[in-house]
Amino acid sequence: MARTSNEHLTPFAHSAHNRCFGCGEANATGLRLEFFLAPDGSVVSLPAVPNAFDGHPGYLHGGIIATLLDEAMSKAVRAQAGASMTRKMEIEYLRPVPSGMPLRLEGRVVRSEHRKHWAEARILNENGTVLAEGKGLFIEVHPPKS
């Protein structure tokens, strides 16, 4: 399910020039995901993940699917509260996720208490079918002291 012309998504600025496997532009072997902010506070990414990340031929590896969901949830938390790290994550693999095809990642924060943030994410195909879902607990972190 690609971005629709009436969808008001704005680029989500973050420190993408890092080596993060999911979103870092400085990681030549990573996913290099780009995220957008939706008006409701959720985040969206519209990747077509190459077959270099396959498990079974033509389908993404389960660990890559987990990474996509983790990144979407993490970015949703970052958009509302700042940097965080995954404490716990639960995934439901509903259908195989094809490689090289347009995908839609959506992430949103569903609850926050102090430094704790609960988030949800999902991966959809271009027809809007949900292929995988995740739920997670994220803890805000502060940069290490020099």
> How confident is the model at residue 12, as a pLDDT?
75
Residues 24 and 34: beta-carbon distance below 8 Å: no
pLDDT for 146 equals: 66
Residue 93 located in a structural domain: yes
**HSE-up (13 A, CA, CB side) for residue 15:** 7
Distance between CA 25 and CA 38 in Å, rounded?
A: 22
Sequence letter at residue 78 = R
109: containing domain: 10-140
Number of domain units in the chain: 1
Taken as a whole, the chain contains a residue count of 146
Does 38 fall in a domain? Answer: yes
Answer whether residue 75 is part of any domain. Answer: yes
Per the domain annotation, does 15 fall within a domain? Answer: yes
Supply angle C-alpha 133, 58, 134, rounded to 5. 10
10-residue mean pLDDT series, the chain (146 residues): 64 66 67 88 94 94 96 95 95 98 97 97 97 97 78
Cα Rg, the chain, nearest whole Å? 15
